[in-house]
Amino acid sequence: MSGTAFEYAAFISYNSADREIARRLQRALESYSIPKALRGRTTAFGPVGERIGKVCRDRTDFKSGESLNAALVEALDKSSSLVVLCSPDSARSKWVNAEVEHFQKTGRAARIFPLIVRTDESRLVVNSYPPALRRADGDEAIAADLQEAGDGWHDGVLKILASILDVDYDALRQRALEAARRRARLAYGVAGGMAALAALAGA
């Protein structure tokens, strides 16, 4: 998404209990190769490139010696979107809630994307939302869900990518399925070739 006024494609907001998931998500988002058919497409957030761009996660992107509050605000303001890792722990985090509120106050509520990583015993998704994402009428934003009982890791990440890129999720998923089929055909062809060579060697 080069060519935008933002330094980061996304800022990942999370509680320390979900640090490893945040690390893994950052790597997945930054390393994702956008399908060629979508590259060059113009969206409200700039042209779609080969990669999504940089993703901000506080432990990797804030310089030592800076005021944490000032660094957080600056990073949030430089981010095109906010991905909120929702869990019972983040629901109780004042920092996660403050980051959501800041994005809302700067007029970018539509660019906040909740991502469920864990739920409590009730399994109610809303209990994993920080207060700033909850609504009195119960009409919270629909979240992607990394849990196996939800979207699972692969489809959950694709949904977040589609939201950040402002492209259709089905387009990303269809191309992922096509790529998987190509890999399967290639593997089948290689296996068949090796079997044929083994048969010739044993003849």
- Residue found under tokens 């303001």: 77
Q: How far apart are CA 121 and CA 148, in angstroms?
A: 15
pLDDT per residue as tens digits for the range 23-73: 999 999 999 999 888 888 887 777 888 999 999 987 665 655 555 578 889
Strand partners, 144: 115
Specify the pLDDT at position 132: 95
Q: In what order do the strands lie in the sheet with 10-13?
A: 55-56, 10-13, 82-86, 112-116, 144-145
**Predicted TM-score (pTM) above 0.85:** no
Relative to beta strand 144-145, strand 46-47 is unpaired
Specify the pLDDT at position 157: 96
| pLDDT score of 3 more than 50 | no
Contact call for residues 106 and 134 (beta carbons, < 8 A): no
Specify the pLDDT at position 84: 97
pLDDT per residue as tens digits for the range 110-155: 999 999 999 999 888 889 999 999 986 666 778 899 999 999 999 9
Between residues 198 and 140, the one the model is more confident about: 140
Contact call for residues 162 and 168 (beta carbons, < 8 A): yes
